[in-house]
Chain A
Amino acid sequence: KQEVTQIPAALSVPEGENLVLNCSFTDSAIYNLQWFRQDPGKGLTSLLLIQSSQREQTSGRLNASLDKSSGRSTLYIAASQPGDSATYLCAVRDNQGGKLIFGQGTELSVKP
């Protein structure tokens, strides 16, 4: 059974710092991996999607990498801003039923 783990559970950084969020998964037979952002009490916003054949995706200050063989993905946020404060979730889609399995998320706080 696929399990997705995110470390750390919470992270607090001063504004301007570069940071890395980690996501690991137990079964490397994935279709894709997606990073989401969730603001308190709201739905999820998709940030980046990496296909299983890809190594990384970039969007603005965000860069997501995927190492399928080791079951790891990282989300790099450059020059963090207070507006980046949110919970970041990674989710993997399996090759079989197409269901998305979520990690528990990393709660990020960027202090001005």
Chain B
Amino acid sequence: EADIYQTPRYLVIGTGKKITLECSQTMGHDKMYWYQQDPGMELHLIHYSYGVNSTEKGDLSSESTVSRIRTEHFPLTLESARPSHTSQYLCASTQSDVATNEKLFFGSGTQLSVL
């Protein structure tokens, strides 16, 4: 099984602050994803990366940015947090590999509350 870690687990922060949500995986997966999920709603893809120095925006418009300088690390940054950013953020990864069928593994998520 892949190991994928997200920190912090919970974050309460004031409006206007800059925050970075961390996501790291230890299995050398090339593909990584960020999803946003509001309570009782479906997951929406906000960013993804298919390798180092490769990042793309997802289906849901987001004011966040991401970077992929190292294979194992895919942090998400909000330059100026707003209450509308309050949500759960889930990081996921997978390996481009026919043998594994690109099974997706998720971190435990970061619950962000912006006051």
Contacts and interface: CB of A to CB of B under 8 A. Distances in A.
A43 B90 contact: yes
Interface string A24-38: 000000011010100
Contacts of A104: 40-42
B101 A51 contact: yes
Nearest to B41: A104
Interface stretch (B14-22, B63-71, B74-82, B104-112): B104-112
Given A99-B48, A99-B59, A100-B33, A34 B42 contact: no
A98 B108 CA distance: 22
B103 A43 contact: no
A34 B50 CA distance: 19
A99 B51 CA distance: 14
Q: Range of interface residues on chain B? A: 20 to 34
B59 to A, nearest CB: 7
Closest 9 CB pairs of A and B: A43-B106, A44-B106, A102-B43, A104-B42, A43-B108, A43-B109, A102-B42, A49-B103, A43-B107
Given A99-B48, A102-B35, A104-B42, 17 more contacts: A4-B42, A34-B104, A41-B88, A42-B108, A42-B109, A43-B106, A43-B109, A44-B43, A44-B92, A46-B103, A46-B104, A46-B105, A89-B43, A98-B31, A99-B58, A100-B45, A104-B40
Interface of B: 6, 31, 33, 35, 40-45, 48, 50, 58-59, 88, 90, 92, 101-109, 111
10 contacts: A32-B102, A43-B6, A44-B43, A44-B92, A45-B106, A46-B103, A51-B101, A93-B102, A99-B48, A99-B58
